Amino acid sequence: MALRAHISERQRRYGAEVRRLRLDADIAVQAAAAHIGMRGPQLNHIEAARTGLDEDRMRLLAALYGCTNEEYLATLAAMGSSDGKGWWSRHRRKVPSFALDLAELEHWATSAYLNYETFLVPGLLQTEQYMRKLFENSETSLSVEEINDTVCFRRDRQQALDGPASFRFVIHEAALLMAFAGGDVMRGQLAHLLEAAERPNVTIQIFPFSVRATLPYSGPFLITEPASSALSTVVIDAPGESAFNDLPEAVAQFRSRFDALSRLALPPGDPTTSSRPQSGRDSWGVIQHIKHGLELER
């Protein structure tokens, strides 16, 4: 079988998991390969994601390694057998490969999706007008065609919200006050946030300026969690470069950070209680208050 010329993040993760299982079991690659009728170099290629592995052999290896977690194995098998095709395929060569990998990760996030943002509204919650202003004001000059392609891709990404996952967003209050989009666009964006918060699978919390505790983590990140939480991935949004991290200790660390941010953030609130005079400060009320202020500026 020919080796892959391009390796997607899903394929890389599958190979990394097969290797991680073997290393945890402390079994040499030659012995593991012989157990499934292969040579060592062939298994090396599989672990490096240069080629795939059928489910039967994967499960034979898992049994050799002592892995009996069926939820994990079923999820891993599904990832390994996937052809990688989805709605994102039609955007190939129009957006960076990192964006395509992110979309595929979001597709597999059937359990939970956790996102912390500092200065921007999360991509899954952006309006088209907000997206356009964001890309038009980007320090990277984009053509009209590139902006259209990127906006179309991001709008398609938002169909993930229709899936079964539980979506939790913690957004710093600063993101609601950024002026680059202009008053009209921000009014529409804040109204869209309030609408999104009414979805039963979406929780939006605002991290207010008033928090006096030391910020657990100051940079944006998200965590995608498939059916098996052991296959979760952290996506770190760093200046100039974003990265995927699937090391178990890194995922646990960022999950802990998100939980700490959520505890410090305002409670979600809702339109039925947040608008009452006696209600305490909550996220719905903050969004509504800032939106109302923009309406008065008209």
pLDDT tens, position by position, 71-97: 999 999 999 999 999 999 999 999 999
Residue owning tokens 């991509």: 123
- Per-residue pLDDT, 177: 96
Other C-beta atoms within 10 Å of 144: how many?
8
Q: Kindly report, residue by residue over 111-146, the tens digit of the pLDDT.
A: 999 999 999 999 999 999 999 999 998 877 889 999
CATH top-level class of 87-296: alpha beta
pLDDT band, very low/low/confident/very high, at 274 (cuts 50, 70, 90): low
At residue 243, φ and ψ (nearest 5 deg) are -150, 150
- Per-residue pLDDT, 263: 94
Is the pLDDT reported for residue 238 higher than 80? no
- Specify the pTM: 0.93
Q: Which fold has domain 9-81?
A: 434 Repressor (Amino-terminal Domain) (1.10.260)
Amino acid at 295: E
Q: Kindly report, residue by residue over 150-198, the tens digit of the pLDDT.
A: 999 999 999 999 999 999 999 999 999 999 999 999 999 999 999 999 9
Domain boundaries, the chain: 9-81, 87-296
Residue 59: is it exposed, middle or buried by C-beta count within 10 angstroms (0-12/13-18/19+)? middle
Q: Kindly report, residue by residue over 218-231, the tens digit of the pLDDT.
A: 689 999 999 999 99
The secondary structure of the chain, three-state, reads: CCCCCCCCHHHHHHHHHHHHHHHHHCCCHHHHHHHCCCCHHHHHHHHCCCCCCCHHHHHHHHHHHCCCCHHHHHHHHHHHHCCCCCHHHHHECCECHHHHHHHHHHHHCCCEEEEEECCCCCHHHCCHHHHHHHHHCCCCCCCHHHHHHHHHHHHHHHHHHHCCCEEEEEEEHHHHCCCCCCHHHHHHHHHHHHHHCCCCCEEEEEECCCCCCCCCCCCCEEEEECCCHHHCEEEEEECCEEEEECCHHHHHHHHHHHHHHHHHCCCCCCCCCCCCCCCCCCHHHHHHHHHHHHHHCC
